[in-house]
Amino acid sequence: MRSQSPSLMPIFRSQHQAELMTQLYLHADTSYALTELAQAARVPLSTAHREMARLVDTGLVASRSAGRTRLYQANAGHPAARALTELLTLTFGPAQVIAEEFAELPDVESVLLFGSWAARYAGQDGSPPADIDVLVIGAPRRAAVYAAADRAAARLRLPVNPALRTPDQWRAADDALVDQVHRSSHLTVIERAADPSPEADSSPEAAATLLAGAGERL
């Protein structure tokens, strides 16, 4: 069954098509086997197979054989490639860009997108997102979080607003922002197991520093 046209940008045939094209065009130098592409884009394999056949027919996606495997790649030579890349980056790109730019942060359990972008991504109607709201759960250095947000903002050409919360705050859900995120649409783009090692700093002093920094950017 075909997914509905996405609220983020309803010009695409379906949400699944947009997810696949985003994966390809935001990594235009990478060739993907179909299984790998479907997994990366979080699209059922059978759907990915149908959508890739259509996109290859239009010339937006190139395909080639490598042994017994067929590989797919964005067709950077297509006349619409540059404009399409910009459009996909602006609309569906935040999930991938945030995941990539925040991936190297240490002492992070989860990174979530919330707010208007997450609502549009979930299919809720409304005006186009003017910024990207990010919740980082863990105890990373504030400077590193803000640097990651600045890099993501430069790529997306949208403001990226990071908020920081400790794992205990996230699980207790007695914080106003945490309660808002729990009650609204949100998308987890990074999720790791909690670090039980003694090196992980969970002291009250570290938590106080983290919360003070969060207040500065909210």
Looking at domain 15-88, does it have CATH number 1.10.3470.10? no
Q: What is the 3-state secondary structure (H, E, C) of 33-98?
A: EHHHHHHHHCCCHHHHHHHHHHHHHHCCEEEEEECCEEEEEECCCCCCHHHHHHHHHHHCHHHHHH
Predicted pLDDT at 160: 97
pTM above 0.85, yes or no: no
Same fold, 15-88 and 92-217: no
How many CB atoms within 10 Å of residue 118? 22
The predicted-structure confidence for 79-119, as pLDDT tens digits, reads as follows: 999 999 988 887 888 999 999 999 999 999 999 999 999 99
The CATH number of the domain covering residues in 92-217 = 3.30.460.10
Predicted pLDDT at 6: 60
CA dihedral over 98, 24, 34, 69, signed as positive or negative: negative
Rounded Cα–Cα distance for residues 80 and 117 (Å): 25
The domain locations on the chain are 15-88, 92-217
CB 6 within 8 A of CB 12: yes
Rounded Cα–Cα distance for residues 129 and 162 (Å): 15
Radius of gyration of the chain (CA): 19
Predicted pLDDT at 9: 57
Predicted pLDDT at 194: 61
Average pLDDT per consecutive 10 residues, the chain (218 residues; last block may be shorter): 58 88 92 95 94 95 96 96 88 91 96 94 86 97 97 93 96 90 95 58 35 33
Rounded Cα–Cα distance for residues 2 and 15 (Å): 9
Predicted pLDDT at 211: 30
